[in-house]
Amino acid sequence: MGLGGTLLLLIAVMPFAGALLPGLMIRAGRNVCAISTAVPTFLALTMLVVLAPSVMQGDVVQAQIEWLPQLGLSASFFLDGLGLLFAGMILGVGLLITLYARFYLSGEDPMGQFYTYLLLFQGAMLGIVLSDNILLLLIFWELTSLSSFLLIGFWKHLPEGRQGARMALAVTGAGGLAMIGGMLILGNIVGSYNLTDILAAGDQIRASEWYLPALILILLGAFTKSAQFPFHFWLPHAMAAPTPVSAYLHSATMVKAGVFLLARMWPALAGTDAWFYIVSTTGLVTMVLGALIALFKDDLKALLAFSTVSHLGLLTMLLGFGTQAAAVAAVFHVINHLTFKAALFMTAGIVDHETHTRDIKRLGGLRHLMPITFLIGTAAALSMAGIPLFNGFLSKELMLEEASHTDWFGSAYAVPVMATIGALLSVAYSLRFISHVFLGPVRDDYPHKPHDPPFGMWAAPALLVAMVVIIGVAPFLAEGIVTAAANAVTGADLHPHLKIWHGFTPALWMSVIAVAGGIVLLLLHKPLDKLWIAAPRPEAKAIFDRLIAGLVSASRAITEIGHNGAISRYLAIFTASSVALGWVAYSSGGLSAPTRELLPVSPVIFVGWVMLIVATLSVVTMHHHRFRALVLIGIIGLSISAGFAYLSAPDLALTQISVETVTIMLLLLALHFMPKITPKESSAGLKLRDGVIALGAGGGVAALAYAFLLRDIETISDYHLANSYEGGGGTNVVNVILVDFRGYDTFGEIIVLGIAGLVIYAVMHALLDGPAARRLKNTDYSHDRSRDRHPMMMVVATRVMMPIAIVVGAYIFLRGHNQPGGGFVAGLVIAIALLMQYMASGFAWTQERQRMEYHTMIGLGVVIAGLTGVGSWLFGRPFLTSDFTYIHLPPIEEFEVATAMLFDLGVFLTVLGGVMLMLYSLSRIARFAGETVNVDPMDYDPADRITDEEER
């Protein structure tokens, strides 16, 4: 990468680098702001001029920086004739627009923002025309969509601006996405995303079976951007933007991007029938249709917008012809269209700025009031009409020449006739622009008295018109750049000669017809206009709006059907799909033969099984009565515990029983604040649905369990059994797994419990601060309150049991490592003992008699367990490595001390704290609901009895 490459990179970066400048410099004033926009543009243009001579001679300047090689995306740029032409236009017109906008924008418009967007857009456009990598090109392509969205919606308080911006984004965005697909296919065919490689592989691409999809997708991108029929409708609505934007986007840049892409991809894609028919037909239709609509538009900018559509159609058609001469004509017309159209937009802007209207029917006679504007506008419009001595004439002649010998589906007349009609309409609306705005008598009903604008405002269009005339008179001046660009498009070595007089060619006669017919049409405009207004025609915006509205409401319908907030439905779908997919997975694989026999069913087991089934069915039928359901759930839990015990899993049984007890007790307490009956909500159909799903799921689980109970498999548990005593220091392998082999799991689970405590506490607070608190306060719970809140018998019984329960807890805790038990169960046992105290004597009374904070208890538990794990680091061992030793302290027998016990203490504390914090939260709610605080342990304390003697 030499100096040229560096300059090229700088050119590409310059607008982005400078983009923030105007946004900041606006604080220094409007002139500084405009200048700070012009500086990066000017610098880039200067560098381009430096590179121009060598490029004109056919050199290609290249620069490359690797970006994402895995994808084949690199920040590589190249500058050839075509790139030079477009980059020059983008930067040159960019400068003129900057100047023009400085005078056009009013003091209320945020000018800094405007110029920032403008530079971003300019940078994106430059990127498109300089990219040497089609993925990079895609990036810039989408960036133009985004930045033009901002520019079109610049007057964000106007609905037209917002809608126009969204429409442009939707249409060009859709095209851009299609183009992504096309470009990726193209890259896959060639094996490279480098444009240079792709352009060299034209034959390979055209021969590929993927050619047609790629072509269509890429053309979708180009056609939407260049507003080709039927995607033309967004362009007129984009005119809601400030006029400098329109002038820039619709003459030199945005819409030309599509044409540029067609030209750029010409060597790779053109030359097939598909290309010819799709591209040239689309172009032809667009050209005629755009011109026709333009003739009847009363809004100056709309007229120009549709004329742009028409001229873009013309360019597309030329490129679609696929001949070298047509490519030359296209390149030349790009230049000419740029000069006259930009000048015309600026003229329209001046007229609007001065008269405060763009409605042609309210204008006329301005030539006397605005002579300079008149001159500029007329010259540009004549060029647009294709009148000799203006540059538009030259390229139109070339176009008609090409059209005159183009065959279309065997017809030699279709294209020439249509092209002539297009040219004719073009003459008509161009002349209308002149005569209905500037000619005729001076009116006295302009919304604002017009006069010529300051020099700064007409300087830019004047310069453009000067070019219109110079090229029109001396076309050979443009030969150099046209040659360079056309050679870049076609990849051939052409030497076109641009001249005014070609002799009496068919094209000349077509031109004559066009001009004569155009004048006739203009004279007939009034009656034709009435006819046009009366005729029914589809309104593109209405169709588009309906389409979007339809899409939105369809989306809403689809979304809201599924996401309606019914958790039962979500669960039904979840369960049903689990069962279905599970079945599919199962049935598509084979199953080895069972290795075990079925065991005989003992009577005890049978009874237990029946109990379980009956209890379960009862829950299903009686769940509306919540209290009963809770009792039944208790039965199920106990049956399961019995099952564990029977199947030689005493640890599980012990845990299950204590967990069962604690949860049922807490649920009972909570039930106090809830309705005792659940309303019936499900219809019979729903119940049937849910029943079928439930049976399916239950049956599935049963089938699974059955399948693997009959098969032996070698598991890692054998290792646990073998190493429990030797490595873990315990004979109870379940406990050793819990606190040692998989102590980390237990660590996680006690944290779950601790978090649950915290969450319940937090929810309780949120509830008591919210509207639920009012409901709690206003509900009367007294009717289902027992008359004996704290019966003496219960108080005494729990008081007696307390020390016993604590001893049992301690015992279970200590023996855990070798016998069923452990910290988890011990925590629950102690919790139950405390729970009973609270239930018997009331929360307040009990609370006063213990000092421990539950929050702290949970925290301490987690920290102790964690630190036990961390402790092993000190000995250079991983987290939670346990150690144990045997201590002999007379007179007690030798006993074991294991670090696992410390870990188990953490478990114990967390469990205890968690349960108690839940209880505490419930009691807070109870007090909130009007529960009185008791200071006495029982309702009737015999000790307080006033004896008969005392009474006496």
Partner 1 sequence: MHWIILPVVLPALLAPVIGFVMRHDITLARIASVAGTVLLLAIALGLAYMAADGTTHVYRLGNWPAPFGIVLVLDRLSALMVLLTSALALIVLIHAISTGWDARGRHFHALFQFQLMGICGAFLTGDIFNLFVFFEVLLIASYGLMIHSGGKDRMRAGLQYVVMNLAGSTLFLFALGTLYASTGTLNIADLALRVPEIPAEEAALVRVATILLMIVFAVKAALFPVQFWLPASYSNAPAPVAALFAIMTKVGAYAILRVHTTVFGPGSPGTEDLAGTWLFPAAIVTIAIGAFGVLGARRLMPLIAFSVVGSMGTLLVAVAVFSTTATTAALYYMVHSTFAAACLFLIADLVVTRRSGDALQPELPTRQNGLFAALFFAAAIAMAGMPPLSGFLGKLLVLDAIREPGLIGWAWSAILIGSLLTIIGFARAGSVLFWKSTAITVPDAEDGETEDSAASIQSPLATVGQVAPVMLALAVLGGLAIFAGPVSAYLDNTSAQLFDRAGYVEAVLSPVEER
Closest to partner 1 by CB, 162 vs 799, is 162
User: Among 817, 807, 810, which Cα is nearest to 896's?
Assistant: 817
User: Among 202, 183, 175, which Cα is nearest to 268's?
Assistant: 202
Closest to partner 1 by CB, 160 vs 452, is 160
Contact between 881 and partner 1 (CB under 8 A)? yes
Q: Report, in Å, the least distance between residue 78 CB and partner 1.
A: 20
Give the Cα separation of 909 and 824 in Å (integer). Answer: 9
Contact between 180 and partner 1 (CB under 8 A)? yes
Give the Cα separation of 424 and 524 in Å (integer). Answer: 14
Give the Cα separation of 111 and 765 in Å (integer). Answer: 52
Query: Which residues, 6+ apart, have CB-to-CB distance to 231 below 8 Å?
Result: 171, 175, 223, 224
Considering only residues 414, 611, 756, 844, which one is a binding residue for partner 1 as defined by CB under 8 A? Answer: 756
Contact between 791 and partner 1 (CB under 8 A)? no
The SS3 assignment for 45 reads helix
Q: List binders of partner 1 among 186-205 (CB under 8 A).
A: 187-188
Q: List binders of partner 1 among 79-118 (CB under 8 A).
A: 113
Contact between 855 and partner 1 (CB under 8 A)? yes
Contact between 774 and partner 1 (CB under 8 A)? no
Contact between 173 and partner 1 (CB under 8 A)? yes
Contact between 670 and partner 1 (CB under 8 A)? no
Q: How far is CA 840 from CA 228, 846, 941, in A?
A: 85, 9, 13
**Is the distance from CB of 243 to CB of 102 less than 8 angstroms?**
no
Contact between 31 and partner 1 (CB under 8 A)? no
**Is the distance from CB of 150 to CB of 245 less than 8 angstroms?**
no
Closest to partner 1 by CB, 811 vs 879, is 879
Helices (runs of H) and strands (runs of E) counted in the chain = 42, 4
Question: How would DSSP label each residue in 390-407?
Answer: SHHHHHHHHHHHHHHT--
Q: Which stretch binds partner 1 (CB under 8 A): 602-610, 677-685, 792-800, 872-880?
A: 872-880
Considering only residues 55, 129, 166, 296, which one is a binding residue for partner 1 as defined by CB under 8 A? Answer: 166
Closest to partner 1 by CB, 477 vs 763, is 763
Q: List binders of partner 1 among 582-611 (CB under 8 A).
A: 582, 584-592
User: Among 251, 259, 444, which Cα is nearest to 355's?
Assistant: 444
Site string for partner 1, 366-385 (x = CB under 8 A): --------------------
The SS3 assignment for 12 reads helix
Contact between 17 and partner 1 (CB under 8 A)? no
User: Among 829, 802, 834, 833, which Cα is nearest to 813's?
Assistant: 829
Q: List binders of partner 1 among 896-935 (CB under 8 A).
A: none
Considering only residues 46, 54, 411, 577, which one is a binding residue for partner 1 as defined by CB under 8 A? Answer: 577
Considering only residues 135, 515, 632, 825, which one is a binding residue for partner 1 as defined by CB under 8 A? Answer: 135
Give the Cα separation of 150 and 137 in Å (integer). Answer: 20
Considering only residues 441, 527, 536, 565, which one is a binding residue for partner 1 as defined by CB under 8 A? Answer: 565
Q: Report, in Å, the least distance between residue 497 CB and partner 1.
A: 42
Contact between 516 and partner 1 (CB under 8 A)? no
Q: Report, in Å, the least distance between residue 404 CB and partner 1.
A: 41
List the alpha helices (DSSP H) in 57-158.
81-104, 111-130, 134-152
Contact between 543 and partner 1 (CB under 8 A)? no
Q: Report, in Å, the least distance between residue 639 CB and partner 1.
A: 19
Q: How many angstroms from the chain centroid is the CA of residue 8? A: 34
Q: Report, in Å, the least distance between residue 150 CB and partner 1.
A: 8
Show the tokens assigned to 119: 């530079």
Residue type, 587: S
Considering only residues 162, 362, 541, 789, which one is a binding residue for partner 1 as defined by CB under 8 A? Answer: 162
Half-sphere exposure of 551 (CA within 13 A, CB side): 7
Q: Which stretch binds partner 1 (CB under 8 A): 276-284, 403-411, 444-452, 758-766?
A: 758-766
Q: Report, in Å, the least distance between residue 152 CB and partner 1.
A: 11
Considering only residues 512, 763, 800, 933, which one is a binding residue for partner 1 as defined by CB under 8 A? Answer: 763
Contact between 535 and partner 1 (CB under 8 A)? no
Considering only residues 68, 412, 523, 852, which one is a binding residue for partner 1 as defined by CB under 8 A? Answer: 68
Q: How far is CA 501 from CA 169, 339, 348, 524, 619, in A?
A: 44, 22, 32, 31, 100
Contact between 667 and partner 1 (CB under 8 A)? no
Give the Cα separation of 906 and 744 in Å (integer). Answer: 13
Q: List binders of partner 1 among 673-732 (CB under 8 A).
A: 701, 704-705, 707-708, 711, 713-717, 719-720, 723, 727
Give the Cα separation of 554 and 546 in Å (integer). Answer: 12
Closest to partner 1 by CB, 21 vs 370, is 21
Show the tokens assigned to 468: 């219109």
Contact between 1 and partner 1 (CB under 8 A)? no
Q: How far is CA 826 from CA 144, 603, 764, 909, in A?
A: 69, 33, 27, 9
